[in-house]
Amino acid sequence: MKPGSGVAHAAALLILASTPAAAAKTLDIYFIDAEGGQAMLVIAPSGQTMLIDAGWQGAEAREARRIQAAMKAAGVKRIDTLLVTHFHPDHAGGVLPLAERAAIGAFLDPGPSVETGRMADRLKEEYEKARGALTPRRMKAGEKIDLKGVTLEVLSAGGELISSAGAANPACAGTPRPAAEEGEHRRSIGFRLTYGNFRLVSLNDLAADLEHDLVCPADRIGPAAVLVTGEGANATPFLAAAKPKALIVNNSPRKAAAPPSVRAIAASADLWQLHFSYAGGQEANAPDAFIANLIDDCQGKHILLQARQDGSFTITNSRQKYAKSY
């Protein structure tokens, strides 16, 4: 070894260790403003990407442009997999405009819509056009999708639920099972994302009776650090089972505000909203720092979640860069 080469080598290692490439990699999830619909961009530490729903079709491909903006912020150029949780316009309406602007490698869904009518027919036609020659993979409860270090486990799909059951859920006592709901909400794909010790659960408008069955009388989902909520019931037994530290609300100013059961646990779990909600007034909303968009004529700001294998995570509000670590 030449004189000084050991020092130079050590210095080089120090430089490499201080670069972003050598820093601990995170699971990054962008919650994109879909005005009360849903669009979640998931980027595994490996760089593999999955988009969960694409929001409304919107004027001038609004959601597609917002998804592209999130992709640019994340430094990714294609969607490896698009998961459509169910065929309603606020979740699947933006698929075709996005497919016309970005490469999509594969499609996952719960199977053809069970609804009929002009809107259902339009969504079917646009979805078929968007996927072209690609055959979608129909998801089933209990399936696991490997995102190279991150696992997506299907909790519900096509009206079926995972079969495994855990301990009895005390919060079910005195809580009646809601009446059965038909249509696409019943078929919604609910899932759990796992990265090391980190867990996130999203049920994506699953019918209230099936949400109840996931956690009553026995809990089938277990705890989750983060819960994504929208129009779903999110009844008290479900929230008691999940025990989240943070909730992400896919809402708009006048749609899908956090239900009372969600607001009731705000003292023990932070509420992050994509929009200020006019329903219920200021007291029904999170503090401004936790809200990505404060006015109707918003700029489509997103919320970014970055999770680490040890279970810790950070949530950042892109509007003013406020961040909180858990």
Closest CA to 290 of 18, 1, 31: 31
The CA distance from 97 to 149, in Å, is 30
In-domain check, residue 269: yes
Question: DSSP for 292-316?
Answer: S--SSS-----EEEEE-TTS-EEEE
Find the helix or strand (DSSP H, E) in which 130 lies.
helix 118-131
How much is the pLDDT for 237?
87
How much is the pLDDT for 17?
39
Residue for token pair 């597609």: 64
Which tokens in the block code for residue 25? 């990699």
In-domain check, residue 73: yes
Phi, psi of 322 (to 5 degrees): -70, 135
Are the C-beta atoms of residues 226 and 195 closer than 8 Å to each other? Answer: no
Which tokens in the block code for residue 307? 């999770």
| pLDDT in 10s for each residue of the chain, 326 residues | 444 444 334 333 333 333 333 345 999 999 999 999 999 999 999 999 999 999 998 778 999 999 999 999 999 999 999 999 999 999 999 999 999 999 999 999 999 999 999 999 999 999 999 999 999 999 999 999 999 999 999 999 999 999 987 899 999 998 899 999 899 999 999 999 999 999 999 999 999 999 999 999 999 999 999 999 875 556 788 888 899 999 999 988 887 665 565 556 556 789 999 999 887 677 778 899 999 999 877 889 999 999 999 999 999 999 999 999 99
Structural domain count, the chain: 1
In-domain check, residue 14: no
The CA distance from 103 to 77, in Å, is 8
Are the C-beta atoms of residues 120 and 130 closer than 8 Å to each other? Answer: no
Closest CA to 193 of 6, 3, 40: 40
**Cα torsion through 183, 189, 190, 196, rounded to 10:** 180
Closest CA to 89 of 52, 41, 53: 53
State how far the alpha carbon of 56 is from the alpha carbons of 31, 164, 269, in Å: 14, 34, 29
How much is the pLDDT for 229?
85
In-domain check, residue 255: yes
In-domain check, residue 13: no
In-domain check, residue 87: yes
Are the C-beta atoms of residues 79 and 104 closer than 8 Å to each other? Answer: yes
The CA distance from 251 to 246, in Å, is 15
The CA distance from 40 to 60, in Å, is 20
* Number of CB atoms found within 10 A of residue 35's CB: 25
State how far the alpha carbon of 87 is from the alpha carbons of 53, 179, 184, 324, in Å: 10, 22, 6, 34
Phi, psi of 208 (to 5 degrees): -60, -35
Residue for token pair 């968007």: 130
In-domain check, residue 117: yes
Handedness of CA 272, 273, 277, 279 (dihedral sign): negative
Domain range for 40 is: 24-325
In-domain check, residue 7: no
Instruction: Give the chain's count of helices (H) and strands (E).
Output: 9, 19
- Domain at 161, CATH number: 3.60.15.10
Burial 231-243 (b: 16+ CB within 10 A, else e): bbbbbbbbbbbbe
How much is the pLDDT for 295?
81
